[in-house]
Amino acid sequence: MARSDISRSSIEQQLGISQSALSRKLRGLNAFTVDEIFRLADVLGVKASVFFGEEMAA
């Protein structure tokens, strides 16, 4: 999020989750759903595969 001009509150709104829910997901305490991953990728303007690292690229 720091590399883009998108605020956390904007991401929360786009994903339809609360501030605390996003915080827990970003800290790895809760997992993002598949739908949230695709929506987050859309919001950030990236492919969803970037969230899966090298394993997905192989």
Domain extent for 23: 8-57
Q: Give the model confidence (pLDDT) of 5-47 as tens digits.
A: 889 999 999 999 999 999 999 999 999 999 999 999 999 999 9
In a domain, 20, yes or no: yes
Higher pLDDT residue, 44 or 57?
A: 44
What is the pTM (predicted TM-score) of this model?
Answer: 0.77
pLDDT at 52: 87
| pLDDT confidence tier of residue 53, bands split at 50, 70 and 90 | confident
Count of domains in the chain?
Answer: 1
In a domain, 18, yes or no: yes
What is the Cα–Cα distance from 29 to 23, expressed in whole angstroms?
9
In this structure, how many other beta carbons lie within 10 angstroms of the beta carbon of residue 40? Answer: 20
In a domain, 29, yes or no: yes
In a domain, 49, yes or no: yes
Cα dihedral 55, 12, 5, 24 sign: negative
What is the Cα–Cα distance from 7 to 58, expressed in whole angstroms?
32
